[in-house]
Amino acid sequence: MPCILLGDYASFSRLNIPLFLERVSAGFPSPAEDYVEKTLDLNELCIQHPASTFFVRVQGESMVEAGILPEDVLVVDRSLRAKHGDIIIASLESEMTVKQLHLTPPPVRLLPRNPAYQPMIIDADMVLEVFGVVTNVVRSLKRGVSS
Amino acid sequence: MKQVYALVDCNNFYASCEKLFRPDLRETPVVVLSNNDGCVVARSKEAKALGIKMGVPVHHITTEIHQYGIEVFSSNYTLYGDMSRRVMVTLESLAPRVDIYSIDEAFLDLTGIDRVVAFEDFGRQIKDIVYQNVGLPVCVGIAPTRTLAKLANYAAKKYRATGGVVDLTDAARQRRLLARVPVEEVWGVGRKLSAKLQALGIVTALQLADTDLATLRKRFSVVLERTARELNGVPCLPWDDAPPPKKQIMCSRSFGQPLQALSDLEEAVSHFANRATGKLRGGRQYAGELMVFVRTNPFRADVPQYSKSASVRLVSATQDSRVIVQQALTQLRSMYRAGYDYAKAGIMLSELVDETGLQRDMFDLSSANDGKGERSARLMAVMDEINRKSRATICMAREAGPAAYVMRREHLSPAYTTNWSQLPEVR
């Protein structure tokens, strides 16, 4: 699998931008100085709307084929309007569930991404509320486990 | 340009926060209890419809809780605080100026926005965006003064046909609403004041607005005169650029188990005194007066009742925990009577001044001459620093360990938004 190096990581939760207020007046300026842009922050990658972003934890295997495994943390953005094909968190009558939203052709369906699970068809009399759109998956890999 | 304010107020805020993460409770009546699971401090609309009153002690409604399946929650201030922050950040993205008024309401400056979009339409946008982005329902009241904006919000909540948004910028509309609203619903008119007003025949908000201003000032106060002006659409309460410094610091708690022994109360009061003094130092303030109170449980008609408070003026204003704890204990000992089940105690620090308002006592030579004042400040700074790094490590010897006075919170929901181990679970 090809990988692309994005840059140096920053182990800070805040955005850290080096700020140079004055030039150093003695000695040689570092030749790298002009190339410092900023450090990278994972929040930048995962979170567009902090006030609307919630995290949820996955239980169960209904979305394994979408790359969502048990114990994963999902990043959920409430401010996005759910579209056909989005992976969403739905507030159903009894619980919150993660599924893929299918709007066309009607009726509205919530599709699992695991053949062992049944699609959910949303009837006119059912209450379906979209809690938010899943934008990212956060998973800690277990070390030293061979499968 | 004419000033226009919006008051945005979350509907049943605490109950709505609890429901957001519990879709199974969508139609269920929900109540949230005060600290220590004492009284009802928030009700969902279903609980209101059942006639559950605000402030009722939870043990008075045990029958209803079982009969209607009311879901009961302890106050989860971690959750409510985080949700409040999200609402406020969202509002700040919508208006040029936002004044946070309480945990669940804020005033917005909408002056001039009607050049772009009608006030009522903008109100609906605010409501929709807050619900979409944060998940909490709000009502919006829009008016030329803050007092009228409060009333517009009251109408938006009370009358369903408004769809949760009321534009009260039109003068004729203002008078129509004022005529329908009882005077006690006006911002700043409490129950006591409204009883006095009613004795004078002032029953509705409109009657208050139409009362002669000089009469109001003479018979009541300049504050009520200002309220009447505001009801007439004349803004008298400017934006507060900075919130005024705290006038009092209160620290009190109901005990999980009633206390009888003086030594137990001493531990509790020392703890509260130290907590309050910590807050005092956090705000860089000094207290000139302290008040201590103890009381039994007034809802227990079957046990002897006792309620007493005592206050003392401090010779010179201080922020030294040792002085305040010692003074608080002196007050406590003077009013303690054996033979009662004490249910609650607390301390209030008042006459607060900052460093610039500090007056040294000319007879208290010790503080001026031997550097005791400075030594006190250094000791307290060290104590605060250690306690900041690891909470409640150092305390006054009279205090019990911090575990003894933790709140009773039997129905606490998870910290869904602030703790990695308590996230909502999805299947």
pLDDT over threshold 70, residue A2 = no
Q: Look at the alpha carbons of B278, B282, B288, B293 in this order and tell me if their dihedral is positive or negative.
A: negative
B200-204: average pLDDT: 94
User: Contacts of residue A96 in chain B, CB cutoff 8 Å?
Assistant: 21, 23, 424-427
Phi, psi of B201 (to 5 degrees): 85, 10
This prediction's pTM? 0.71
Residue B312 CA to residue B315 CA, distance in Å, equals 9
pLDDT over threshold 80, residue B361 = no
Residues of chain B with CATH 3.30.1490.100: 249-361
B38-51: average pLDDT: 94
Strands B249-259, B105-109: pairing kind: unpaired
User: Does residue B117 sit in helix, strand or coil?
Assistant: coil
pLDDT over threshold 50, residue B368 = no
Residue B42 CA to residue B64 CA, distance in Å, equals 16
Helix ranges, B100-221 (H): 119-134, 146-158, 171-180, 191-199, 205-210, 213-219
Place of tokens 């002032």: B202
Look up the CATH number of domain B170-243. 1.10.150.20
Structure tokens at B245: 């410094």
> What ipTM does the predicted assembly reach?
0.78
Structure tokens at A56: 């949820």
Residue A93 CA to residue B93 CA, distance in Å, equals 32
Tell me, yes or no, if A91 comes closer than 8 A to chain B by beta carbon: yes
Q: What DSSP character marks residue B362?
A: T
- For A:70-89, CB contacts with B below 8 A are 73-74, 78-79, 81, 89
The per-residue pLDDT for B376 is 76
Alpha-carbon gap: B87 to the closest alpha carbon of chain A (Å): 8
Q: Which residue has the higher pLDDT, A39 or B392?
A: A39
User: Is the Cβ–Cβ distance between B316 and B367 less than 8 Å?
Assistant: yes
Q: Is A20 exposed, middle or buried (0-12, 13-18, 19+ CB in 10 A)?
A: exposed
Confidence at A51, pLDDT banded by 50, 70, 90: very high
Alpha-carbon gap: B141 to the closest alpha carbon of chain A (Å): 23
Q: What DSSP character marks residue B39?
A: B
User: Is the Cβ–Cβ distance between B7 and B127 less than 8 Å?
Assistant: no
Q: Which residue has the higher pLDDT, B317 or A52?
A: A52
Contact A96 B86 (CB under 8 A): no
Residue count of chain B: 427
Confidence at A23, pLDDT banded by 50, 70, 90: very low
Of A51, A56, A98, the CB nearest to B90: A51
Of B26, B85, B93, the CB nearest to A127: B26
Residue B370 CA to residue B376 CA, distance in Å, equals 11
Considering chain A, what is the average pLDDT of its residues?
A: 82
User: Is the Cβ–Cβ distance between B41 and B34 less than 8 Å?
Assistant: yes
What's the alpha-carbon Rg for chain B, to the nearest Å? Answer: 25
B119-141: average pLDDT: 97
Domains of chain A and CATH, by start: 52-138 (2.10.109.10)
User: Is the Cβ–Cβ distance between B389 and B55 less than 8 Å?
Assistant: no
Residue A89 CA to residue A95 CA, distance in Å, equals 10
Look up the CATH number of domain B1-169. 3.30.70.270
Summarize pLDDT for B245-301 with one digit per residue, the tens: 567 788 888 787 888 889 889 988 998 898 889 888 888 888 988 888 888 887 777
Residue B264 CA to residue A8 CA, distance in Å, equals 57
- Helix axes B222-231 and B146-158, enclosed angle (nearest 10): 60
The per-residue pLDDT for B380 is 80
Contact B23 A49 (CB under 8 A): no
Summarize pLDDT for A97-124 with one digit per residue, the tens: 999 999 999 899 999 999 999 999 998 8
Place of tokens 């227990």: B300
Of A55, A98, A129, the CB nearest to B423: A55
Residues of chain B with CATH 3.30.70.270: 1-169
- Neighbour-count burial for B292-310, b at 16+ CB within 10 Å, e otherwise: bbbbbbeeeeeeeeeeeeb
Contact A94 B24 (CB under 8 A): yes
Residue B283 CA to residue B272 CA, distance in Å, equals 17
Alpha-carbon gap: A57 to the closest alpha carbon of chain B (Å): 5
- Which of A69-73, B115-119, B309-313 is the least confident region? B309-313
Contact A97 B426 (CB under 8 A): yes
The per-residue pLDDT for B242 is 44
Tell me, yes or no, if A122 comes closer than 8 A to chain B by beta carbon: no
Confidence at B400, pLDDT banded by 50, 70, 90: low
What dihedral angle (degrees, nearest 10) is formed by the CA atoms of B406, B408, B411, B413? -20
Contact B133 A96 (CB under 8 A): no
pLDDT over threshold 50, residue B178 = yes
Place of tokens 């599709």: A111
- Which of B78-87, B226-235, B401-410 is the least confident region? B401-410
pLDDT over threshold 80, residue B327 = yes
pLDDT over threshold 50, residue A12 = no
Look up the CATH number of domain B249-361. 3.30.1490.100
Could you confirm whether A30 is annotated as catalytic?
no
User: Is the Cβ–Cβ distance between A89 and A132 less than 8 Å?
Assistant: yes
What's the alpha-carbon Rg for chain A, to the nearest Å? Answer: 21
The per-residue pLDDT for B253 is 80
pLDDT over threshold 50, residue B338 = yes
Geometric angle at alpha carbon B87, from B282 and B120, rounded to 5°: 130
Residue B364 CA to residue B160 CA, distance in Å, equals 64
The per-residue pLDDT for B240 is 61
Residue B226 CA to residue B237 CA, distance in Å, equals 8
Give the CA count within 13 Å in the CB-facing half-sphere of B277: 29
User: Contacts of residue B416 in chain A, CB cutoff 8 Å?
Assistant: 54
Confidence at B394, pLDDT banded by 50, 70, 90: low
Confidence at B351, pLDDT banded by 50, 70, 90: confident
Contact B24 A93 (CB under 8 A): yes
Q: What DSSP character marks residue A13?
A: S
* Distance (Å) of CA A147 to CA A3, A118, A143, A144, B421: 22, 28, 11, 10, 27
Q: Which residue has the higher pLDDT, A73 or B346?
A: A73
- Which of A24-38, B78-92, B228-242 is the least confident region? A24-38
Residue B135 CA to residue A77 CA, distance in Å, equals 11
The per-residue pLDDT for A31 is 59
Phi, psi of B302 (to 5 degrees): -85, -5
Phi, psi of A7 (to 5 degrees): 145, -175
Residues of chain B with CATH 1.10.150.20: 170-243
Q: Which residue has the higher pLDDT, A139 or B103?
A: A139
Q: Which residue has the higher pLDDT, B84 or B390?
A: B84
Alpha-carbon gap: A75 to the closest alpha carbon of chain B (Å): 11
User: Is the Cβ–Cβ distance between B136 and B10 less than 8 Å?
Assistant: yes
Q: Which residue has the higher pLDDT, B309 or B131?
A: B131
- Which of A55-69, A101-115, B351-365 is the least confident region? B351-365
> Which one is catalytic: A25, A30, A62, A146?
A62
Could you confirm whether A142 is annotated as catalytic?
no
Phi, psi of B206 (to 5 degrees): -65, -40
Place of tokens 């006459």: B351
The per-residue pLDDT for B246 is 62
Alpha-carbon gap: B223 to the closest alpha carbon of chain A (Å): 37
